[in-house]
C-alpha cells in the first residue's frame, strides 16, 4: 500500500509547516486526490489514521476531495470534465487534449493550532 508512504511524507510536510509557523499542532488537513492519480482515497484515509499516531497531527481531521478528470482540447479550445476512461474531447472528438485536472494529489489546506513562544524551537 503506497498510501502509507505518501502519508509518512505528508506527516513530514505537516511537521515542517508547523515548525515554520510555530504551531503546536495540526487541526485539519484537506487533500485533493484526482481519480487518475493512482491514489485510493479510502486507503489514504486509513493510512493517515495509522501514520498520524504520535505526531503533531495525531488528532487532526482529514478531509479528502476527489477530483474528476478535466481536459483542455488543443483543437477546439473546449475545457471540461470527462470520463476517466475517455480523455478525448467530448465536443469535437479530438485526441489532442491535455489533462488539466484529475491526476493530482494536493495538500490543499492545513489548519495549524496553538503557538510556541519561540518560533525557533522545534516542538517535535
Q: 2-113 adopts what CATH topology?
A: hypothetical protein PF0899 fold (3.30.2320)
The whole-number pLDDT of residue 118 equals: 47
Considering the chain, what is the average pLDDT of its residues?
Answer: 92
Cα dihedral sign, 49-35-110-20: positive
The three-class DSSP label of residue 7 is helix
Q: pLDDT band at residue 60, thresholds of 50, 70 and 90? A: very high
**What are the residue boundaries of the structural domains of the chain, listed by start?**
2-113
The C-alpha cell at 13 is 510536510
How far is residue 124's CA from residue 87's CA, in Å, rounded to a whole number? 45
**In this prediction, what percent of the chain has a pLDDT beyond 90?**
90
118 compared with 113, residue with greater pLDDT: 113
Cα dihedral sign, 71-69-47-52: positive
Q: pLDDT digits over 4-21, tens only?
A: 999 999 999 999 999 999
- Check whether 117 has a pLDDT greater than 80: no
Q: Which of 16, 50, 15, 11 is nearest to 31 (CA)?
A: 11
Q: What is the pTM of this model?
A: 0.85
Q: What is the CA radius of gyration of the chain?
A: 18
- Check whether 123 has a pLDDT greater than 90: no
Average pLDDT over residues 76-104: 96
Q: pLDDT band at residue 1, thresholds of 50, 70 and 90? A: low
Q: Which of 45, 89, 44, 37 is nearest to 68 (CA)?
A: 37
Amino acid at each position: 500500500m503506497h498510501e502509507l508512504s505518501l502519508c509518512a511524507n505528508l506527516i513530514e510536510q505537516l511537521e515542517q509547516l508547523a515548525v515554520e509557523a510555530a504551531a503546536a499542532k495540526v487541526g485539519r488537513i484537506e487533500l485533493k486526490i484526482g481519480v487518475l492519480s493512482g491514489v485510493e482515497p479510502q486507503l489514504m484515509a486509513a493510512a493517515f489514521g495509522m501514520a498520524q499516531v504520535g505526531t503533531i497531527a495525531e488528532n487532526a481531521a482529514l478531509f479528502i476531495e476527489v477530483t474528476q478528470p478535466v481536459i483542455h482540447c488543443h483543437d477546439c479550445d473546449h475545457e471540461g470534465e470527462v470520463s476517466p476512461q475517455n480523455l478525448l474531447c467530448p465536443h469535437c472528438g479530438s485526441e489532442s487534449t491535455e489533462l488539466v485536472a484529475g491526476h493530482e494529489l494536493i495538500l490543499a489546506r492545513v489548519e495549524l493550532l496553538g503557538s510556541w513562544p519561540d518560533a525557533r524551537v522545534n516542538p517535535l
